[in-house]
Amino acid sequence: MRFAIMSFAHLHAEAYIQNLRAIPGVEMIGFADDDPDRGKHFAALYDTRWFPSYEALIAEKPDGVIICAENARHRPLAEMAAAAGISVLSEKPLAITLADAQAMVEACQRAGVVLMTAFPMRFSAPVIEAKKVVDSGALGTIYGCNATNQGQLPRLHTAYPRDWFVDKVLAGGGAAADHTVHVADLLRWYFQSEVVEVYAELNHIFYQEPGIEVETGGLIMLSFANGAFATIDCSWSKPPHYPTWGGLTMELVGEGGLLTLDPFRQVMTVYGKDAPRPRWAYWGSDPNQAMIDEFVAAVRDKRAPAITGYDGYKAVEIVEAVYRSAESRQPVRLPLS
């Protein structure tokens, strides 16, 4: 089977190329990027073929592509791939508007190809164990969840410039668009219930330097149809010298007890004499690899993936409600019309 990457705009492409290469029977044929400087840089760095246009890559007829473009460009690239009969794994958020997310889902449905959303945390071993506890009923009725998905300003945690993360047109938003979706997806999965109301407060309390057009801090409250509620701190609140880009934590409060989850604790902190800052060396599970394995398997077996385009659509709906609430300073009801 043959797979490729569409754009290295997103820093996660640097992990995905290695994940594809690690799967037996998969040929990573290269990547397309219409930014010549970026294309040449990563082609040399990873010793792989660079296609200077997306059309040139599509002409090679890979079985599947991973879209790692700027958020605003997910839809046209997904539609291009689907029209050629190529399956798609799209980086999150699936799109910057609900209409674009719906168009991506419909395009892939019409073409009969896989559309999967990149939510790797669903494949984290600690996250899966927590899901088993929830499903077992050991917590009883779950009343609420206190969650964080914090991080750094994304352009700071990469050797190659990725300033588009703070460009409102290309990113569609800041910390809320970047980090709400992971926790929202896990909560939908844990609760097997949909969000019915969103309230959000967003600000620019972190990283106040000129040129940052998007929010850097945020606190979000979600109410679910089953009566549970959750809060999410989605802020880019980690300082530049922090060992990694951030982390995800959850505290699930139920009638039968409290479950705490910190999947990023599977690390050792490494200090180097010449390193500008400490770093985390992971010794635990690799959710990225498990996610890419699932995408390849879904394409091979011609079946729906564990995380669908619809899951991505519902996460985009929550993010859109977040921005409506932050603007109106009022709760927003879902589903959005």
Judge whether 316 and 185 are in contact, CB under 8 Å.
Answer: no
How far apart CA 150 and CA 180 sit, in angstroms, is 9
Residue 87 included in any domain: yes
Q: What is the pLDDT of residues 175-233, one digit of tens each?
A: 999 999 999 999 999 999 999 999 999 999 999 888 898 999 999 999 999 999 999 99
Query: What's the pLDDT at 275?
Result: 77
70 with 80, same domain: the answer is yes
∠ CA 28-30-31, nearest 5°, is: 125
Please determine, for residue 148, whether its predicted confidence score (pLDDT) is greater than 80. Answer: yes
CB count in 10 Å sphere of residue 315: 26
* Domain total of the chain: 2
Residue 33 included in any domain: yes
Q: Can you say whether the dihedral through the CA atoms of 17, 55, 115, 27 is positive or negative?
A: negative
CATH number at residue 249: 3.30.360.10
Q: Which among 292, 335, 337, 69 is positioned nearest to 188, based on CA atoms?
A: 335
How far apart CA 20 and CA 120 sit, in angstroms, is 14
Domain holding 82, by residue range, is: 2-119
The pTM is what? 0.95
Hunting for tokens 């291009």 — which residue is that? 80
111 with 127, same domain: the answer is no
101 with 176, same domain: the answer is no
200 with 83, same domain: the answer is no
Confidence band for 239, pLDDT divided at 50, 70 and 90: confident
Q: What is the pLDDT of residues 127-137, one digit of tens each?
A: 999 999 999 99
